[in-house]
Amino acid sequence: MEKKALLVISFGTSYPETRKKTIEATEKHLQNAFPDHDFYRAFTSRMIINKLKTRDNESVDTPQEVLKKLKAAGYTHVQCQTTHIINGYEYDITLKELKAFEKDFECLTLGRPLLTTVEDYEETVDIVMKQMPKLKNGEALVYMGHGSDHHANSTYPCLDYMFKMKGYEDVYVGTVEGFPELENIVPLLQEKKYKKIYLAPFMLVAGDHAINDMASDEEDSWRTVLEEERFKVECILEGLGEYAGIQNMFLDHLKKAQPVAEM
């Protein structure tokens, strides 16, 4: 007899308010689409898992820990969906962990991160621009992506190019920990003589990076740096996971998930 589980795998966040609006909202959306599957959650960030345990006495499992429990409980079919944005380190680790269990279930599948195909980029741009303020003359929107030294960091310049290809000439994508950095974007903003810059996180959650690295009064935050360059700055603290369109994209990826053994 089949016993089915749905496992949603996220990087995680230690900020409960944004988690409710983003990760939990996405989980619920996927859960509602698969009512015959028992729901499970996993985070890939050990740092966040440890922080939640120490600070809130809240336990969240890693993907590996959940799969061990599912195996022991006799599940036969496990569908997994990552809410990661790029096919980077976190996704690589997740896939490696899942592959160790590929023979323990009749079917074990994994849906890909948000930005995987060209169509994903196109659809994502359409979705997020419907959520952002309509830019007037002299205004630009700068997205803060996470960034990485993984080769998948090429996602961010590719995304920037896609915004331009779709007619959004005043939208820029930078990263905190990759390329392009804010210092690469500032000269472009100065050259166009923008007066006002909107800042928004290109991340599933509006968590630590959005609150501190982007929007805070700290001297090296993106907001502070841009204000020192005499731009007027407005921060939009919304994670991508808040948008119904992005939740639908993850659902579409889940429906197209491949067996882990074939990945």
> Which residues, listed in sequence order, are joined to residue 77 by a DSSP beta bridge?
4, 107
> Which residues, listed in sequence order, are joined to residue 39 by a DSSP beta bridge?
6
Q: Give the type of residue at 128.
A: V
Cβ burial of 219 (10 Å; 0-12, 13-18, 19+) is exposed
CA angle 149/204/89 to nearest 5° reads 30
Q: Are strands 258-259 and 107-111 parallel, antiparallel or unpaired?
A: antiparallel
**Torsion sign across C-alpha atoms 95, 96, 97, 100:** positive
> Does residue 84 have an active-site annotation?
no
Of 29, 146, 209, 253, the catalytic one is 146
What residues are labeled active site?
146
